[in-house]
Structure 1
Amino acid sequence: MPEVSSPVYHRLHHHRRFVIWGFLSRIFSMSIIPASVLRNLADKLDEKRKNAAYEVGVIVKQFAQAGEHEKIAAVINLLAIEFTCSPQPNHKKGGLLALAAATLALSSEASRHLEEIGPLVINSFIDQDSRVRYFACEALYNIAMVVRGEINVFFNQIFDALCMLSADSDLNVRSAAHLLDRLMRDIVTDSHEISIEEFIPLLRERLNVINPYVRLSLLNWITVLDNVAGIDMLRFLPDFLDGLFNMLSDSSHDIREQAGTLISGFLQGMMNSKNVDFGRVAEILVRRATSSNSFSRQISIKWIDELLKVGGNQLVSYYADILGAILLCISDIEEEVRVVARETNEELWAICSDPAEKFDVGAILSVAMTKLATKFVATRLESLHWIQRLLACHHSEAMTYLNDIFDSLLRTLADPSDEVVLLALEVHACMAKVTQQFQHLVVSLISTFRSNHILLEKRSALIVPRLCVLLDAERVYREFSQILEGEKDLSFASNMVQALNLVLLTSSELTDLRNLLKKSLMDPAGKDLFLCLYSSWCHSPMGIISLCLLAQAYHHASAVIQTLAEEDMNVKFLMQLDKLISLLEAPVFTHLRLQLLDPSRCAWLLMTLYGLLNLLPQQSAAFKILKTRLKTIPPHTLSDDQLKREGKIVNDINFESRLQEFKNMQNRHRMHSRSSCTNSGQFHQPRLRQSRRASRVHFK
């Protein structure tokens, strides 16, 4: 047996005293309440229970008038043990009626016993019997009418119960709960005595319930509390704002409208409040701006815009998240969302152009790069605009992230949208102002073309001219040429040169470059460019011939044609030759066609054209085009003296050396072609035989 002074002994002694007191209290209270009243209080008939409850009220009132509160406590204890805690539904109903009657009888002194009465009634809200739940609502209604603001000591428990009861399966219970709910709202409005700090976590939890009756009740409560003087709901806005946004997608129009009105009201009030955590609100708005619900997106993007105007640099750590939401909303299916998103985008950029100290360029760049992978063109474009702006305004810091963004930008050049590709090139140009980065860009671009032949075929005519405009055409072509000169993949080198050559001959952006090449035989700058391009253009016979025609090096063009062997005459070669013949009729070669008006001064040009004619199949359209052109030349007899007038060295260009360089490169291509066919087990592609005429032609 434990010692008398031990804690165990005292607990056992206290418990024994409590049991004994409860037993004695029960015996005592049963002695002061007639047995007939107690019996009727548990009767199955409602009328008998109500009459018995009334009798209990009369007895309690007598005790209250006599100041005998110990007897009142004994009565309440009896009602708890024998009735409200009984497993029998009729006992519970009678107990609830009696507790309400006792409270009514106590009147102004009811608050002295509210701590014992309140939990007994509230616990009955979860009873399995719907009639018990109904009587619990009725009892608490009557109790609250008596004690008014004193009932708020149980506010959280009552609120939690009302949320549950508002969705009760029994219509009568829901109706009773609705009446109790209205009374509680009136009481809270009048008394102002609730602990809002303890209530908010419960509200946040209940906002996750999707039952429409519960949601309407919650919206009403939030509205009431927001209008209660002394309760600052704005201070807790981040705790329940997300729950309100959930209701914007509710199937009920009333719920959506009420929730939208509340959100707008709170956000409007937030603009003039110093107690709101703008950062937490921004997090919620950003998340909701990408919601599948259009109403949520509209409200969110609108208030993100307002938040930026008020919060400004206070939101610096949220700029990246805000930008991510804006970039998606710019492509929203709703025009209203798109319009506001663009306004918000400009607002954010105005702040970021002169940001606070903690502005994170890397985070902004990361978001912009991520959004380049979206399926929306408008979003991809605006992402590129952000990268471009950051490079312009925060160049040094942005360039430290070059390795992170360069490859993604390079992949953007394969974008299906021409507008995106052109803007991506502008961004590349911003980074390529430094010589080292310029070289890296051209090397990477060639590598991209090498790995993506479709991109080379379909997009080179878009990419190369734009790059020339942004970074100087001569500089771009010189860099391309120097890299391609040593290209090991000879097939790719040939294709790349053909693409560059076609752009050179057709693009309006390269007019100045063409004009410079036309002076190759007279101007040192033109000669230098011609020689720079020549080495890489040797990868393509048609490229070299085109370059010579452009530079008016007709003697050398004719010599190149004479070196072409029968095995060069494959389908691919003839297709390139067709393109060249078509270009001879284009504006780029107007000067060449005009020179044909005086055959005595363009002997080697004529030799070149006839050489091209003899390479073409007679049945081809290109053959007919060129033959028709040659027929327009005035009659003239060409002598050997005329052909000898043009020397082999012009403007210090050693054409014999250049011709040997071309032959060497073409030999490498032939060997490469044979090796590729042998290694792959394929036969050589059939060659098309062409009639070869004498190298010198006399005209009558």
Structure 2
Amino acid sequence: MLSVNDTGSGGQPSLESYFGESVAATLLGKVNETKDRKESMSKIQARVQQTVLNDGYEEIKKMIACLEENCFLPNKPVPYRKGGLAAIGAVAVGLSSEHISYFLPDIMHLVIGTDTEQGPFSNDCGEYRIRYLACESLFNIAKVANHELLPYIPTIFDGISRLFADVNTEVRHAAMVLDKLLRDIVTSAAAHGKDQLSKFPAETFVQQLGQRMKFKNPNIRQLCLGWTTLILGINGMEAVRYTPIFINEVFDMLADADDRRDSRHNADSLLDLLLTQVKESPPEQAMQIVFHTLGALAANCEKEDKCIRLCALCWLYEYVYLTPGFTPPGKEEDMDEDMKRMRNLLLGWRKMWGEELPQLLPGIFKCITDKENEVSLMAVDLNNSLLDLAHRLGDSLPVQALVAKLSELLVAQGKRPEGEGPMVVHIACLQWICLLLSDSPAAMLRKETLKELFMPIFESLLHPNDEVVITALRVLAQIMEAKPVEEELCIEDLLPEEECTTAGSASASSSTGSGGSRSDLFTVIVHRLLREFSTHQEMLESRGRLMIRQVCGYLDPQRLYVTVARAIQQEKDRAFAQKLVQTFSWILLTAVETRGLREELLRESEQHPQLLRLAGQPTSEEAKADLPRPLFLELLEPWFHNPTSALALCLWAQQYELASELTGRFASFEPTLDFLQQLDQLVRLLESPIFSRLRLQLLEPRRHPALLKCLLGLAMLLPQAGAFQILRERMHLVQSSLLMEVRNDGEAVPAPSKSGGWWSGGSTNLPDAQADFASLVAAFDRLSKTE
């Protein structure tokens, strides 16, 4: 049997002394009739109203304290707590809006406490009626307090958000009714201007929103989305600036299951609203939001859900186009305040992107390989936009961080199975390296940076996709053309130890043209490329011509060919050297990229004294002055490793005497299938448009007897198959040309000289030419022998 004393346990007046016996009995759970409870609440309201009219503020304070002591202490039974919640709501109604502000802290302390996890909103508080009555009491308080309740809304929201997941339907409904009233209060405060709205602790509330959004319960998520949409729509609150607090949680809602479509749809709509408001924000605020959300967006690009990835890419894409240009106007001392503000803003954007770019690339590259075509295409577009943005950043690029990330990604791509996705990512990485080499050469060409990139780039040459190989060659060409920061950069700085000795000696012998550092770096890469061909000779056979043509297109072909020729001279593997010469020779004589090189060989053959003497043509004394060694002689001796290629080079350079001499030595070679196939290819090459000049010279056989003898010699070496038939038809035309010459001048064709070698011509009649001729033939005999 409950007893009601005149004083409480703490010496305070009892409930009976304040509200009467019947009301006290109701509050303490002795009376359960609904009618009696309503009458008791009305009596409490009337008592409070009368006390307020009599200015009994302190008396009301004591009433509230009495309720706390008798009904709200943790050790009180459940009926007491239920009665206390109903009573405090009645007290608030009795106070009315004019007087409640003075008592509101004490009232709210009783209803929501200091920790909602332990208060009446907690599932641990006992039966569900306590949670229901807490909502009812707060509803009554809110109706009276109105805008005065704004400072307490974050704490109230923390409590009712728990009730949105309550197992009891009545409790959930009560929480929803209270939530609607709270939203109306916030909206009303916004309509009354900033003075009222300033009472609302927006940042604290948004922090609560962010915490509650992490809950998976769909009701809680809908509650959070509704509130977020509400505060974003309030003018003057500028809630968009709080986007970094909850953006991750909103993105996570896009992955909700199909049975939560409303949550997913509302999250998508909220993100659209957020992005629109970010784009419409003042420039300084937009920059801060972008800066603090880039990391979250980068992480969302790697999430499993397609919608999250696609939405994150769209946000990043909009961020790129939100970024202003990067040319600060004029000098700072010449600017007014507005111009200085603009300049500082631009510098802020540059700094922000410079810090964040490296962490964006992994997520974007992962999306490039996405199985969802929509995601993949969006990622490719975003990557292209970022490349353009990085180009505008200029010296603000974080080169070292980007290089470390790109090198890591290249190595990772090399370990992935073949496919279109890895191929596109590989190309994207190489494109970024190209950009860095172009825009930040000083930082990129340091020894540490080159060493980090060197091997991943060369490993890219082994990729099965041609586009990857072409892009890797473009990167190498940019490095080869550049001048490294360290003037003393050595081969050992870039190559593994086992490759340093050979490349180092070659570098010393091939240092031509401009400064030594450039030549060294150029030679290092050429030798490393040749080493790749040696190690992976199937690559030389399958795509060697493609690779060499690309390099010739990016670089000076003459410098490349001279460097390669000198490397071939030092090559110990003669079989590999023969393949190299055959490949480079074919490119030299057929490719568009080497047209200038062919023209240079022709120009030398007609102007260089050393080549004129070798061809048996007279030269002036002045022409014997020291001149650079002709390109033909730079190539010829290395080309002797492949006799057919050497013969083709002689024919192109109009060294017909030497060509006929080499042809005569072909008779001593074993007629292997490979050798005969090369001769066949040579004959067909001579019939191509490239060699039309040579064929026209056959119309004057007396001026070019050595050419005629060379071609006749080839015909004698070839089996009577397709190539032989081609040559025979050509020789029939030559006979007609010879008859025409005889008819024109009445002279017979002079007999060839018997001095010198096989079918020797006029070149051997000059002493200097005889020595050159003999040394070249000796070199041919030495290098053309197979081991």
Q: TM-score, normalised by structure 1?
A: 0.78
**Residues 435-479 of structure 1, C-alpha deviation per residue, up to 9 Å, x if partnerless?**
332222322222222223233223332333343344332222111
Residue 258 of structure 1, aligned match among 256, 266, 270: 270
1:202 aligns with 2:208: yes
1:600 shift after superposition:
4.6
Counterpart in the other structure of 1:461: 545
Name the structure 2 match of 1:674: none
Task: Write the letter of the residue equivalent to 1:299.
Answer: W
Q: Is the contact made by 1:248 and 1:260 (CA closer than 8 Å) also made in structure 2?
A: no
Where does residue 152 of structure 2 map in the other structure?
154
The DSSP-based 3-state class of the residue aligned with 2:281 is helix
Cα pair 2:647 2:659 within 8 Å, conserved: yes
Kept in 2: contact 1:361–1:397 (CA 8 A): yes
Find the counterpart in structure 2 of residue 118 from structure 1.
108
Task: Give the distance between the partners of 1:162 and 1:578, measured in 2 at CA.
Answer: 90
Using the TM superposition, give the Cα deviation of residue 563 of structure 1 relative to its aligned residue in structure 2, in angstroms: 3.6
Q: Does 1:571 align with 2:569?
A: no
Q: 2:752 aligns with which of 634, 641, 647?
A: 641
Q: Which residue identity is paired with 1:264? A: T
- Which residue of 1 is the match for residue 313 of structure 2? 297
Out of 474, 477, 483, the residue aligned to residue 561 of structure 2 is 477
Task: Tell me the CA shift for residue 261 of structure 1.
Answer: 0.6
Match status 1:75 vs 2:67 = yes
The answer to whether residue 367 in structure 2 is matched with residue 319 in structure 1 is no
Cα offsets for 1:499-551 (capped at 9, x unmatched): 10111111123233324434666532783222211221122122222222223
Question: Do the aligned residues in 1 keep the contact of 2:68 with 2:84 (CA within 8 Å)?
Answer: no
Between 1:403-412 and 1:470-479, the stretch displaced more is: 403-412
**Corresponding letter in the other structure for 1:214:** I
Which of residues 199, 218, 222 is equivalent to 2:224? Answer: 218
Specify whether residues 276 and 530 from structure 1 end up closer, same or farther in structure 2 by C-alpha distance, changes over 3 A only: closer
**How many angstroms apart in 2 are the aligned matches of 1:656 and 1:612?**
22
- Offset of residue 152 of structure 1: 4.1
Q: State the 1:638 CA deviation.
A: 8.7
Q: Secondary structure at the match of 1:488?
A: coil
CA distance in 1, matches of 2:778, 2:295: 69
* Letter of the 2:573 counterpart: D
Q: Residue 635 of structure 2 corresponds to which residue in structure 1?
A: 533
Q: CA deviation at 1:181?
A: 1.5
Q: In the aligned structure 1, how far is the partner of 2:647 from the partner of 2:475?
A: 33
SS at structure 2 position matched to 1:569: coil
CA contact (8 A) 2:313 2:382 kept: no
Whether the 8 Å contact between 2:244 and 2:289 is mirrored in structure 1 is yes
Letter aligned with residue 784 of structure 2: Q
Partner of 2:744: none
Residue 572 to residue 423, structure 1, CA distance change in 2 (3 Å) = same
Residue identity opposite 2:675 in structure 1:
F
Aligned to 1:405: 453
Tell me the distance in 1 between the aligned counterparts of 2:609 and 2:440: 37
Q: Which amino acid letter does the alignment assign opposite residue 362 of structure 1?
A: Q
How far apart, in 1, do the equivalents of 2:181 and 2:142 lie? 8
SS in 1 for 2:200: coil
- Where does residue 489 of structure 1 map in the other structure? 573
Matches within 5 A, 1:252-291: 252-271=264-283, 273=285, 276=288, 279-285=291-297, 287=299
Q: How far is the alpha carbon of 1:130 from its aligned partner?
A: 3.9
1:5 aligned residue: none
CA shift for structure 1 position 490: 2.3
Q: Which amino acid aligns with 1:557?
A: A
Deviation at 1:37, TM superposition (A): 4.9
Q: Which residue of 2 aligns with 1:105?
A: 94
1:181-220 CA-partner distances (Å, limit 9, x unpaired): 2222333452432334544433332333344433333233
Q: Is 1:596 aligned to 2:698, yes or no?
A: yes
**d(CA) in 2 for partners of 1:79, 1:634:** 128
Out of 378, 391, 410, which is 1:349 matched to? 391
Q: Write out per-residue CA displacement over residues 346-376 of structure 1, whole angstroms, 9 at most, x where no aligned residue.
A: 3442342xx5xx6544345555666667647
Q: Pairwise mapping of residues 341-380 of structure 1 onto structure 2 (< 5 A)? A: 342=384, 345-352=387-394, 355=395, 360-366=398-404, 375=421
Distance 1:521 1:273, change over 3 A: closer
Report what 1:4 is aligned to.
Answer: none
Residue type of the alignment partner of 2:15: S
Q: Is the 8 A contact 1:538 1:544 kept in 2?
A: yes
The answer to whether the Cα contact below 8 Å between 2:648 and 2:682 also exists between their aligned partners in 1 is: yes
8 Å contact from structure 1 (residues 25, 74) kept in 2: no
1: CA distance, partners of 2:380 / 2:282:
24
Query: Which whole-Å deviations, capped at 9, do the CAs of 1:390-423 have from their partners, x for residues lacking one?
Result: 5455433432233333444444445524462564
* CA separation of 1:581 and 1:50: change in aligned 2, threshold 3 A: farther
Structure 2 distance, partners of 1:501, 1:238, is 62
The counterpart of 1:654, out of the listed 762, 772, 776, is 772
Cα distance in 2 between the residues matched to 1:631 and 1:210: 91
Letter in 2 for 1:268: E
Shift of 1:87: 5.8
Alpha carbons of 1:266 and 1:174: their partners in 2 closer, same or farther (altered >3 Å)?
Answer: farther
Aligned to 2:3: none
Distance, in Å, in 2 between the alignment partners of 1:496 and 1:165 is 79
Assess, with a 3 A threshold, how the Cα gap between structure 1 residues 294 and 230 changes in structure 2: closer, same or farther: closer
Cα distance change of structure 1 residues 206 and 525 upon mapping to structure 2, 3 Å threshold: farther
Change (3 A) 1:324 1:65: closer
1:451 to 519, 535, 556: 535
User: What do the CA deviations read for 1:35-62 (whole angstroms, capped 9, x no partner)?
Assistant: 6655555366655544554455556656
CA distance in 1, matches of 2:586, 2:436: 35
Q: Which moved more, 1:168-177 or 1:583-592?
A: 168-177
Unaligned ranges ≥5, structure 2: 1-5, 113-118, 190-195, 326-341, 414-420, 484-513, 612-629, 739-747, 754-758
Q: Which deviates further from its counterpart, 525-534 or 342-351? A: 342-351
Counterpart for residue 694 of structure 1: none
Separation of aligned partners in 1, 2:390 and 2:594: 38
Give the equivalent residue in structure 1 for 2:687: 585
How many residue pairs get aligned? The number is 642
- Give the AA of the match of 1:29: L
Determine the C-alpha separation between the residues in 2 that align with 1:87 and 1:149: 34
1:603–1:638 Cα contact (<8 Å) kept: no
Q: Specify the code of the residue in structure 1 equivalent to 2:92.
A: T
**CA-CA distance at 1:105 after TM superposition:** 2.9
The AA in structure 2 aligned to 1:608 is C
Q: 1:394 to 1:31 in 2, by over 3 A?
A: closer
Residue aligned with 2:641, SS: coil
Match of 1:140 in 2: 138
List aligned pairs for 1:614-629, cutoff 5 A.
Answer: 614-618=716-720, 620-629=721-730
Q: Report if the CA contact (8 A) 1:290-1:297 is conserved.
A: no
**Whole-Å Cα distance in 2 between the matches of residues 326 and 649 of structure 1?**
70
Counterpart in the other structure of 1:8: none
Task: Verify the 8 A CA contact 1:597 1:634 in the aligned structure 2.
Answer: no
Q: Give the distance between the partners of 1:649 and 1:368, measured in 2 at CA.
A: 63
Task: Flag the 1:395–1:424 CA change in 2: closer, same or farther, 3 A.
Answer: closer
Gap regions ≥5 residues in structure 1:
1-19, 671-700
Larger displacement relative to structure 2 (644-653 or 588-597): 644-653
Q: Is the 8 A contact 1:490 1:539 kept in 2?
A: yes
3-state SS of the aligned residue for 1:124?
Answer: coil
Over aligned residues, Cα RMSD in angstroms? 4.0
